[in-house]
Amino acid sequence: MTSKPALMFALFLMPASVCAEEEAFAPMALNSFTLLPRAFASAKVMGQDGALLGNIQIVQSDPAGKPDIIRIGVVGGKIVALRSNDASYEQKANIVVTDMDAMKAALAGVVSQSP
């Protein structure tokens, strides 16, 4: 039979281990940041399937200072604009995650192309 203190100790530890697993990859909505970390400027942009889509080039902020539009360099030298509400940022891994529908819409409206 398990002693009462041991059982209470085990129950106390269980939520912490569950939280630790969830924090392994916990992207936050990009438009929820009021100040982006410096490393964001070199973040990779990935699809939800893990495919590399491009790199952050430029971040435009709204009047309150929150990220509004991110410009992403994609294969072929194209720069596409993606609204920040279509992306999440995983700070520990320094990656931006977006879904393919948002990326396809952004690709349809290519902002510029490198010479």
pLDDT (mean) for 61-65:
89
Superfamily the domain 27-113 falls into: PRC-barrel domain (2.30.30.240)
Read off the pTM. 0.68
Strands 67-73 and 52-61 come out as: antiparallel
Structure tokens belonging to residue 1:
């039979």
CB atoms within 10 A of CB 72: 25
CB atoms within 10 A of CB 68: 17
Q: Does the pLDDT of residue 77 top 80, yes or no?
A: yes
Instruction: Find the mean pLDDT for residues 13-32.
Output: 59
Beta-bridged to residue 78, according to DSSP, are 113
Q: Which residue has the higher pLDDT, 113 or 96?
A: 96
Domain boundaries, the chain: 27-113
**d(Cα 113, Cα 5) in Å, to the nearest integer?**
65
